[in-house]
Amino acid sequence: MAAVHIGCSGWSYAGWAGDFYPAGCPQRRWLEHYATVFDTVELNTTFYRLPALETVQGWVRRTPPGFRFAVKASRYLTHVRRLADMDRGVQRLWARLDPLLGSDRMGPVLWQLPERFPRDDARLAAALDRLPTGRGERHAFEFRHPSWFAPEVLALLREHAVALCIGDRPDRPFQPHVLTADFTMVRFHHGARGRRGNYSDTELREWAGRLRRLKAEAEVFAYFNNDWEGFAPRNARRLRTLLARA
């Protein structure tokens, strides 16, 4: 059985203060507290801007050995350039990620494509050929346009040992639960049966069963993105408990 890492998409949410974060815990200590509860986090800040090298060094310094950061690739590469002209943009991002790449904290890199980006096999193949892998990097693609979920696209991912990210959201019933590498990413965006995007206990029990089946073949990185009202850390903890009980 492979490992399952469960966490949240980000940790710096004011609404978690006094709930997930104990009263009196200063914001500068939130990452340290988060890392006492979960062993992985998805970095959203890298999607919006290049992090300072000192910031990345701080992430490594403030977390324990074995903690994993999943890195969300820049929206400039995925949403503006739409995977074209990857070389220079990737080099700039990788230069800032150097402290992570040189540590045991580096998790998978997520390439989230926009909903209005339809299937383009040639562009995807060119991008896959340019993904850095020389330092053990692992990559996952989250497609949001239904046209991408085709056998030829899945074959391209398998050829490059790139994972198909499973994006769970009620308005995307076309998302398959398919493995294309020796690891996978699951992103929990919005519960279908809980209130206001929360995941119901029944949903989490069902997902615990799915993750058990996935981990029989692949390492799993799972992140809750429903951060409002503190749903994400509560759902993540509950899913982890259900998985451990099994």
What percent of the chain lies above the pLDDT cut of 70? 100
pLDDT at position 12: 96
Q: What is the mean pLDDT of residues 19-30?
A: 96
Give CA–CA dist 7/43, Å, rounded. Answer: 11
> For 47-69, how does the pLDDT look when each residue is reduced to its tens digit (9 = 90+)?
999 999 999 999 999 999 999 99
- Is a pLDDT exceeding 80 seen at residue 77? yes
> For 169-192, how does the pLDDT look when each residue is reduced to its tens digit (9 = 90+)?
999 999 999 999 999 999 999 999
- Is a pLDDT exceeding 90 seen at residue 2? no
Q: Does domain 4-245 bear CATH number 3.10.20.600?
A: no
207-211 contacts, C-beta under 8 A, 24 or more apart: 207/168, 207/239, 208/239, 208/242, 208/243, 208/246, 209/246, 210/177, 211/4, 211/186, 211/239, 211/243
Q: Using 50, 70 and 90 to split pLDDT, how confident is the model at 85?
A: confident
pLDDT at position 61: 97
Give CA–CA dist 189/207, Å, rounded. Answer: 13
pLDDT at position 175: 97
- Is a pLDDT exceeding 80 seen at residue 71? yes
